[in-house]
Every structure is written in C-alpha cells, then in structure tokens.
Amino acid sequence: MNIRQHKIIDSAVAGELVDKVNAMPLGDIDVSDPALYESNTHWPYFERLRREDPVHYCKDSMFGPYWAITRYQDIMEVEMHHEVFSSDTSNGGITIQDGNLGLGVEMFIAMDPPKHDAQRKAVSPMVSPENLARLESTIRERSQRILSSLPVGETFNWVEKVSIELTTQMLATLFDFPWEDRRKLTRWSEVATALPGTGVYETEEQRREELAECLAYFTRLWNERVNAEPGPDLISMMAHSDATRNMGPNEFLGNLILLIVGGNDTTRNTMSGSVLALNQNPDQYQKLCDNPKLVESMVPELIRWQTPLSSMRRTALADYELGGKTIHKGDKVVMWYASANRDPEAIENPEQFIIDRKRPRQHISFGFGIHRCVGNRLAELQLKILWEEILKLWPEPCIEVVGEPKRVYSPVVRGYTEMPVRINA
C-alpha cells in the first residue's frame, strides 16, 4: 500500500460514517467506546457533539454515566475550576475508568491542592531549563544511534524500533534506572494503561503481580538513594523532598506509574504519529525537507494532531452550570482533548495538519491549569531532536508508511502498537 491509498481508504470510510453518526439519536452517542479509538472512527461523533450538544450527558457506557465535554473553551473552564472539578483518587481520579485506570493507586496527577502542589514541586527540577540543556546532548546522541541502525529498504515497525526504544532510554535516564533492565519500564507502562481483555495481561491478578514487581524494584533503588547524596534523578528527588519522602507503598507505586506513563506512552505515540501525519500530508513532508527549521513549529502541531491522551476526567464537588446544562455534584466529567484540538472556534483550520502554523501551541494536548503537563518541554525536545536527526540522515521525504497502523484500544491513550514503514533512501 502506498501513501496515496492511505488517504483514499480514510476518506471512503469517513463519508459513510458521517452519515451514520448524523442519523443517530443524540442520546445514543457514547464517545467512550474504546473500539472508536482502535478504528480511528471517533471524529464524526465529536464533530456532531461539538456542533449540537457540546456538554453532553451519556447516561450509559461501559464506564457508567458521564458528561462528555467536547469544546475547547468549556474544557478550559473545567480545568480552571479545580476547586469544583476534583482530580482526587478518593472522588474517582483522572480517567474515565474509576480509580485511575482501575489501579486504585494514589499519584499527584490525581490529587487536589495542597498535596498535589507540594508533590508536583518535588519533581519539577527534572524539567528545569538547566536540566533540559544537560539532557539535550544525550538525547541527540541516542537518536543518532537508533536512527543509523535502522534497516534501510526493509519494512519494519517504527513503534518498536524507534518510538519505544527512544522513550524507554529517556525514561531510564530520568530514573537513573539500570540500563540492561530498561525494557521492564516499557512493560510496566503497558500493564498500567491497558484495559482488561486486550491481551496485554491475562488476569487482574497477573496485573497486580507485575506492578508489585515494579514497586519492589523501585523500592530497592529508593533504599540505595535515600541514604546517598541527593542526585538529579526522579527517585532521588522524591526520596529527598519533604513532600514525597514519607509516601506509603500505594502512593509510591502511583507516582511511579504516573512518571513512567507520562514520560513514555505520550511521547512515544507522538513519535509514531509523526511519520503517519507526514505521510498523510506529503506536501507538508516536502515543505519540511525544503526547510528543516520548520521542525520547531511542527513539533507542537504534531502533539496537537496526535493528542496522545484523548481524555482526562474530573468529578464535580458541587452543582455547576456549563454550556446551559447543570452538572450535578458527584457527576463524572470527561474532557475530550481529542475533540477540543479539532474545535474550529479555537483553532483555525483544525482539520488540517500545517507544520508552520502561526500559533502552534494553541492546543490542549498538555491540559491546562494546575495539572498542566510537567514534562511538556521535555516531550517537545525529544521530538524536535528526533526530527532534526532524521532530516540530517534522510533530507528527502523517504520514510514511507507501507501498511495500516494498528491503534490502541483505549479511550484514554491515543496511540499505536504498529506502524509499518520502509525507508526508501
């Protein structure tokens, strides 16, 4: 399959689907079905909701009843009112599935102030401008090594050979994790985010056992570092901060999962999505090759285009009027970033992938407000270096997506398990 065929298949499917979605009773629309994300068919549902029912009550879903917030401005309003819209695990947490992906652990992304603020501060030095400058040469050298080892002229899975490898190496550096065991981090990330019945783990018991192994492994690292001089890695930062040094095992595991998933799946899926976006938009790929400086503005556009986290959830602590509807105390409120990033009221020509947008950071992929992504600049840096190095090695548009990508079955993580490509250098 070549690049052009990709586009034909996409638009044929889209036409039929739009008619079907527009004919559905509004009340039947449930955008939480993970199959919509696996088949990449969620777009027309969001389009209709944004147009006709932007604050939509879904009374029945596999995750129970919830409000679907699909417009950019409404999501900003929810994010800004964190005193009403709680992230706290005790109220339900931050994913549509109760208890933070069903894990039932505590982590600072799923806490309200003041505890959230103190714990966030403990790990923030990791992404200070000085630390990012320190990491830059490591990231560049690793990107070069991985890219130059790729098999030219053969079909291979970009997810496996590039995206996973690069983000896992990054994560191992952030934790100062034993290098030879780094693929354990990839596995723990997958186990933490996968829904039951998707083949990643057989039973909930197996999932618990694997995450207990994660906790045991990191506890050993913690015990070594807590008595040593403070170091620049995330474990040492948590072990030496007043806000995090007395965490119980459940909270330690939760924060580990947050940092593993935050630093891994999101950036990884944008790296995979980047080759697809450029293949689906060959004019933009050519424009990039003609002017490699555009990597700078392309990176935030890629993050908007991919929206690696489709949604985040809050729980209302009081009744609240939003878009003419009353959200009641205790209701589950789901912010669909994947929809807001295609909202024409907030973003000009949102359906187009444009690598030289005037305001490319006008997206909501990193969230907003007190929980806005801590790692945003690090994610951008990794993507920027990856593409700078790709263009040095292959200055023409020669990375070709040669088959249909396989997407993740999840209403939270928007990503890929397979991206078959060939480098036609």
Which residues bind to ligand HEM, rule: CB under 6 A?
Answer: 79, 108-109, 120, 174, 258-259, 262-263, 266-267, 270, 303, 308-309, 312, 365-369, 371-375, 378-379
Written as six digits, the tokens of 37 are 């994300």
Nearer to ligand HEM (CB atom), residue 327 or residue 423? 327
Q: Which is nearer to ligand HEM, 311 or 400 (CB)?
A: 311
Q: Which is nearer to ligand HEM, 21 or 238 (CB)?
A: 238
As measured in angstroms, the least distance from the Cβ of 288 to ligand HEM is 19
Strand order across the beta sheet in which 155-157 lies = 155-157, 420-423, 399-401
CA atoms of 182 and 185, how far apart (whole Å): 6
Give the dihedral sign, CA 53/56/60/62: positive
CA 252 from centre of chain: 21
- State in angstroms the smallest separation of the CB of 315 from ligand HEM: 13
Least separation in angstroms between CB 276 and ligand HEM: 15
CA gap 79, 77 in Å, rounded: 5
CB of 363 to ligand HEM, least distance (A): 9
Q: Which is nearer to ligand HEM, 264 or 284 (CB)?
A: 264
- Output phi, psi for 54, to 5 deg: -65, -25
- CB-nearer residue toward ligand HEM: 7 or 182: 182
Please identify, using beta-carbon distances, which residue of 150 and 312 lies nearer to ligand HEM: 312
Least distance between ligand HEM and beta carbon 365 (Å): 4
What's the per-residue H, E or C state across 99-128?
Answer: HHHHCCCCCHHHCCCCHHHHHHHHHHHHHC
For the range 197-206, what are the long-range contacts, defined as Cβ-Cβ under 8 Å and sequence gap of 24 or more? 198/409
User: What is the spatial distance between Cα 256 and Cα 249, in angstroms, rounded to a whole number?
Assistant: 10
Least distance between ligand HEM and beta carbon 305 (Å): 11
Residues 166, 264: Cα–Cα separation, whole Å: 9
Tokens of 132: 């990012």
**Cα–Cα distance for residue pair 312/369, rounded to 1 Å:** 13
Minimal distance, residue 302 CB to ligand HEM, in Å? 8
Q: DSSP class of residue 76?
A: H
* Shortest reach from residue 376's CB to ligand HEM, in Å: 6
Nearer to ligand HEM, 260 or 421 (CB): 260
Phi, then psi, of 287 in degrees rounded to 5: -60, -40
Determine whether 220 is exposed, middle or buried from the number of CB atoms within 10 Å of its CB (0-12, 13-18, 19+). exposed
In one-letter notation, the amino acid at residue 337 is Y
45 versus 366: smaller Cβ distance to ligand HEM: 366
Minimum distance between the CB of residue 88 and ligand HEM, rounded to whole angstroms? 11
- Are 41 and 11 in contact by the 8 Å Cβ rule? The answer is no
Q: Which CB sits closer to ligand HEM, 101 or 423?
A: 101
CB of 299 to ligand HEM, least distance (A): 9
If the CB atoms of residues 112 and 400 are measured against ligand HEM, the closer one turns out to be: 112
Q: Is the dihedral of CA 275, 278, 282, 288 positive or negative?
A: negative
**Cα(50)–Cα(56) distance, integer angstroms:** 9
Residue 380 · residue 299 · CB < 8 Å: yes
